[in-house]
Amino acid sequence: MRYLSDYFNQHGIDQSLVARFEQYFDMLVEWNEKFNLTAITDLEQVEQKHFLDSLLGAELIPNGSKICDVGSGAGFPSIPLAIIRPDCNFTLLDSLNKRITFLSAVKDALNLTNCTCIHTRAEDYACNYREAFDVCVARAVAPLPTLLEYCIPLLEVGGKLIAYKGSGADEEISLSSRAMQVLNCKISRKVDTCLPNGDKRILVEIIKTQPTPKAYPRGKNKPRTNPII
């Protein structure tokens, strides 16, 4: 994994951790045959579009953070982040139990004691874990107005959402002004970057400024079917 090795050299990360990513890749390909976890299974593409992409947010995460990955899917971005950030604790949420089964197997195989995998919907989880996290991360989950309603209630005041977005980020941001006003959050920075293959990536960092009104998040899939716009 030459791209990961280069990334580790640039950031002073122990090269021995590459072996964990190799094991993760092997499990992803094996389980994908029965669980349909990802459309990308080529090693070089997984390395760039899943692993390196996930690690883009690592430097935005404060030391010792409690992090919630909303809509973890096959474990991106939380599993790669958990491998290189053992100082942080990660809670991985997904609404499909088969994904949680896979994530739990990866956690055990890679001995990621800083991860907890939970089968639930974000809006249900927020009923009992409001303001429980320092950071939320989310990648390829939902448009930003919907994502804000999923994530902001989980954050403590002053906590941040790191939303992984592509070239359509600016359009999503323009649609999110009302949601940010209602949910009491604001954009603190937008990081434009790209993968080694040239694919554009944008990290949108959103800070929670005040407690979220108790009416949010709404249930019955309303954040997705009737977003705040």
What are the angstrom distances between the C-alpha of 106 and each of 4, 112, 135, 183? 19, 8, 22, 34
In one letter, which amino acid is 75?
G
Place of tokens 């404060």: 62
Cβ of 198: how many Cβ atoms within 10 Å?
A: 7
CA-closest candidate to residue 208, choices 172, 180, 167: 180
Q: Which residues pair with 117 in a beta bridge?
A: 92
pLDDT, position 53: 96
Handedness of CA 149, 150, 156, 159 (dihedral sign): negative
pLDDT, position 167: 85
HSE-up (13 A, CA, CB side) for residue 201 = 22
Q: Give tens-digit pLDDT for 47-96.
A: 999 999 999 999 999 999 999 999 999 999 999 999 999 999 999 999 99
Q: What is the pTM of this model?
A: 0.95
What are the angstrom distances between the C-alpha of 188 and each of 81, 109, 130, 131, 139? 21, 37, 21, 19, 18
Topology of domain 2-225, per CATH?
Rossmann fold (3.40.50)
pLDDT, position 168: 87
pLDDT, position 112: 98
What are the residue boundaries of the structural domains of the chain, listed by start? 2-225
In one letter, which amino acid is 174?
S
Chain centroid offset of residue 20 CA: 19
176 in helix, strand or coil?
coil
Residues 92 and 110: their CA atoms lie apart, in Å, by 15
pLDDT, position 220: 86
Quote the tokens at residue 99: 């994904």
Q: What is the mean pLDDT of each run of 10 residues along the chain (229 residues)?
A: 93 95 97 93 95 96 98 97 98 96 97 97 93 96 95 98 93 95 97 92 97 94 93
